[in-house]
Structure 1
Amino acid sequence: MSIPDDSCVAVARRALYGASWDRNQYALQSVRNSIVTATLDHALVRAAERKWARCMREGGFRYQDLADPFKAVEKRLDAAGSDRAALRATGEEELRVAVRDATCQTEAGLAEQVARAQRQVEQELPAARTSVLDDFRAARQAALERAETASGGSA
C-alpha cells in the first residue's frame, strides 16, 4: 500500500515516527528475510527435513520437502472442484497427512533444529546488519516517547 507523501497519514506518521521510519522498516524486513532464508537453508534444518521425509515415507507419504504436503492437498482441492465427496475425501486425507506430519516433525526434532539454526544464523550476522535492529528499536522508542508527550502523558 502506498500513501502519498503529502497526505495527512504520511505527515502524521513522519511527525510521530520520524523521517527514517519507513527506511528502518524496510531494512529490518530485509534482515528478517535473510535470516529466514539462511535458517531454512542451514545444515541443521536440512538434516531434520531429511529425517522428516524418511519418517513421512515410513507412513506412506512420498514427500521430500516440508511444503510438499501443502502442495499435494492444494492439487487435490483443485481437482475436486465442487464435488462434495471429493472435497470430503481431500479433507480426510489432509487430516491423515497432518497427523503424520506432526509426528514426523516431532521425531525429527524439526522445531528444535530450526531454533538452533536461527540462533547460529543470527549470531553470524555482520554488525552492519544487526545495527538495523538497534536503529529500529531506537526509532520505535522515540516514537513511543513522542506519542506519550503528544497525549499529555496518558499513553
Structure 2
Amino acid sequence: MAEQKRYRSIIDVHVILERGGEILLLERRGTGYCDGMLHLPSGHLDDGEPVTHGAAREAFEEVGVRIDPDALRLAAVVHHRQHPDLARIGFFFAASRWKGEPYNAEPHKCGKLLWTDPAILPSNTIDYTAAGIRAYLTGAPLTLHGWDGT
C-alpha cells in the first residue's frame, strides 16, 4: 500500500508594528513579487523556528527593530490560497513595544517605509496583507483568503 503524501503549506510570519494609532508598511522593490505594493515586515518561517521567534527575526531583518518574542500578540491567522496549487498560512502578530527606531534595513528589497492608519489602507496594499490587517482590526482569529472567492 502506497503511503499518502501529507499536505504541506508555507508558513509566513507578519508583524504589525503599532504606534500612535498607525501601523508600519513597507514598499516592495526589486523582488519580482508585488514590487511597488505595500506589506508588513514579514517573511517565511525557518525550519525548526517557533513562529514568535520568526516574526521577531523578520522585524529585525527588515526594519532593524528588536522585539522580544514574548511581547508579540497573536492578532490573526490567515489561510491564504495564492493559486490553486499553493497555499500559505500567515501568522499576524502585533507589537507595541520594541527596541530601536524602524528604518529600511533592506534597501535592495524595500523602497520606503510608511506609517499609516490601518483602517484606511493605501490601495496598493497586497490583498493577503490587507486581509490580515482587517482581521487584526475586527478581532477575527481566523480568516480564509483566496478560497472560493474570499
Q: Same fold (TM over 0.5)?
A: no
Q: Identify, as 1 or 2, the structure richer in strand.
A: 2
Task: Name the structure where helix makes up a greater proportion of residues.
Answer: 1
Class of the TM-score when normalised by the shorter of the 2 chains: under 0.3
TM-score by length of 1: 0.19
- Taking structure 2 as the reference length, the TM-score comes to 0.20
